Amino acid sequence: MNLVWLNAVRASSTTVNYLVRDTFTISNGVLINSRSPDIDVVGGGWIFDAGSFSGSSSKAVAGSAQSLAVINSGQADVTVADRMTVLDNTNNRGIALRRTSATNYWRIDLANGTLYRIVQIQAGSPIVRASAAVSYSVGASANLRVVASGNTITAYVSINGGAETSISYGSATFNNTATYHGIYSQTATTNDFHDNFEVYL
């Protein structure tokens, strides 16, 4: 009887094991790679693969087009979350996943104001593996969450706190042991803000 009770307590007290967490609580204009995230288990900090990101109202904004920043979480099978404020409807932004170089990684993005997608960037060439329609307007808050497990990548999106919808790709052998994850913006400052970036088990 006691054993049953103990198991019930354990099941109801699941904790999140953060590998990376960054709320970007920094002064405007400060580069995110110039300081330590709130949690950085490996300890390498942010790396700019392309462009840059800096603080703006305690969020991260891109400094130039095609900005890509990554951080080593030490794990490939993870959940990555990013809260974005989307300030245009014509460009792409999102999460970078399982990156080995600036031209080899996965991108889970909100695209063109109409879609969210799972995109494989292989030798710099984008391959769209899954997408779904999503509707959002300028100023929308988008919670993007990605679960990478073995050869399956599942992306969840919620707009303005609404219900999550999901897409999944089940043959993600490309870069499936890569441990760097991060944020991406197609265009520069003021088009979108990244906040509350998390990598956890």
Partner 1 sequence: MTVIAHIATYWTVNANGENEPYFVGMMTGDKWADVTGTVSPPPDPNTIVLEAIIDDLTFNTVSSDNDLYVMWDAPNPRPPDDIPGAAEFGLLRAYLAQNGWKQAQINQAIGQGVNGRNRRQIADELRTYIKGLTP
Beta bridge partners of 22: 197
What gap in Å lies between CA 97 and CA 160, rounded to an integer?
23
Residues 131-150, one symbol each (x = binds partner 1 by CB under 8 A, - = not), give xxx-----------------
Among residues 169 and 193, whose Cβ is nearest to partner 1?
169
What gap in Å lies between CA 20 and CA 182, rounded to an integer?
10
50 binds partner 1 (CB under 8 A): no
Shortest Cβ 8–partner 1 spacing (Å): 37
Q: Which of 168, 176, 189, 196 binds partner 1 (CB under 8 A)?
A: 168
What gap in Å lies between CA 80 and CA 78, rounded to an integer?
6
Shortest Cβ 133–partner 1 spacing (Å): 5
- Identify which range of 7-15, 19-27, 71-79, 164-172 contacts partner 1 by CB under 8 A: 164-172
Tokens 């769209």 found at: 128
Q: What are phi and psi of 65, to 5 degrees?
A: -65, 150
Tokens 């060439």 found at: 125
Shortest Cβ 175–partner 1 spacing (Å): 12
Among residues 19 and 111, whose Cβ is nearest to partner 1?
111
- DSSP 8-state class, residue 31: B
